[in-house]
Amino acid sequence: MRSLTRKLLDIQSSVDRSGKYALIDYPNYLNPGDSAIWAGTRLTLQEKFGHPPSYVSSLRGFDAKRCQEAIDDGAVFFLGGGSFGNLYGKHHQRRLSAIEKLAANPIILLPLSLAEQETSDMGHRRQTADVLASHGNATVFARENMTRKKLVNHYGIDADLCPDLAHMLAAPRIVPTRSSIQIYRKDAESLGEKSRQVHAGQDIGKDWSDLARLRLLNKVGKAAFLVPGHRLKLRFFDFLAIGKLQLALDLVGSGKMVRTDRLHAMILANLLDRDVIAHDNATGKLGSYIATWRENLHRVTVQ
């Protein structure tokens, strides 16, 4: 999978490999899967440019003026993940607002999945298409085929296909301490009991939010706005992301086999060479991801 993600290193679209660049949408929230994406993205872009970003920010803390002062006409990369669409409407709107303020910069939306719920008003689709078309220099990557098809059919956006950048991570050695671990969503993307295969006497399963140390680290991250200067902020972001990622790896790696409906629990288990039994989530991204990259996801079974 790492060889597939390296296609991002070949992006041209007016991106100067020797120039400055920005990485936007630091995941300053609990989900360590997005921290895995951040860590993998940092490795990918470091390999591409040979130096770290000159500007980093969460979407909430984005400042277009400071960004452009830091990178001039350099490229702006938006972190990939599963927050594209109206299921996470505020987040999606902040992304569009940032793109509109960066008219002079090449925009790259890194590998993403749609998170949508059907409502009477799906105007965000036309709005998104209009913002990207008006910009005129935006590249979009879809991380699985379902999203790629929906972007074409519902948004009029032609996206390239690329795996999640968490696959760029190197796998640590973690010795399992139990025969299996169950990790199931308890959020808006959960299918509830339909996604679980719970047997009497087994662990009923955990979610990331059940990890007390992860919740504590997430609280620490809320102080990011107090960190002065770009270099210190980048180090702070990386420290938090690696810390959250390690907690997720410890949980996933504790089992010889992993049952999950979380995409990044599956990806991390795959990195750790664990057997995985996967159940789809409410947006369908996990099933689509496995179907798209089946030949590269060894030891993964879908139920």
Clarify whether residues 129 and 262 are in a common domain.
no
* Boundary residue ending a domain (167, 193, 212): 167
Amino acid 196: pLDDT = 53
Amino acid 194: pLDDT = 54
Amino acid 203: pLDDT = 53
Name the burial class of residue 66, with classes exposed (0-12), middle (13-18) and buried (19+) by CB atoms within 10 angstroms of its CB. Answer: middle
Contact (Cβ atoms closer than 8 angstroms) between residue 299 and residue 275: yes
Amino acid 193: pLDDT = 61
Amino acid 48: pLDDT = 86
Clarify whether residues 152 and 201 are in a common domain.
no
Q: What is the DSSP string of 237-301?
A: HHHHHHHHHHHHHHHHHTEEEEEES-HHHHHHHHHTT-EEEE---TTSHHHHHHHHTGGG-TTEE
Give the type of residue at 165.
L
Clarify whether residues 161 and 99 are in a common domain.
yes
pTM: 0.93
Number of domains in the chain: 2
* Boundary residue ending a domain (167, 199, 230): 167
* Boundary residue ending a domain (167, 196, 227): 167
Amino acid 12: pLDDT = 52
Amino acid 211: pLDDT = 95
Clarify whether residues 79 and 151 are in a common domain.
yes
Amino acid 209: pLDDT = 94
Range of the domain at 269: 175-302
Give the residues across from 302 on adjacent strands.
278
Clarify whether residues 154 and 239 are in a common domain.
no
Going residue by residue through the chain (303 aa), what tens digit of pLDDT does each one get? Answer: 666 666 666 665 456 666 899 999 999 999 999 999 999 999 999 988 899 999 999 999 999 999 999 999 999 999 999 999 999 999 999 999 999 999 999 999 999 999 998 888 889 999 999 999 999 999 999 999 999 999 999 999 999 999 999 999 998 999 999 999 999 998 888 887 655 554 434 555 789 999 999 999 999 999 988 898 999 999 999 999 999 999 999 999 999 999 999 999 999 999 999 999 999 999 999 999 999 999 989 899 998
Amino acid 19: pLDDT = 86
Please compute, for residue 167, the number of CA atoms within 13 A of its CA located in the half-sphere on the CB side: 23
Clarify whether residues 102 and 209 are in a common domain.
no
Amino acid 201: pLDDT = 43
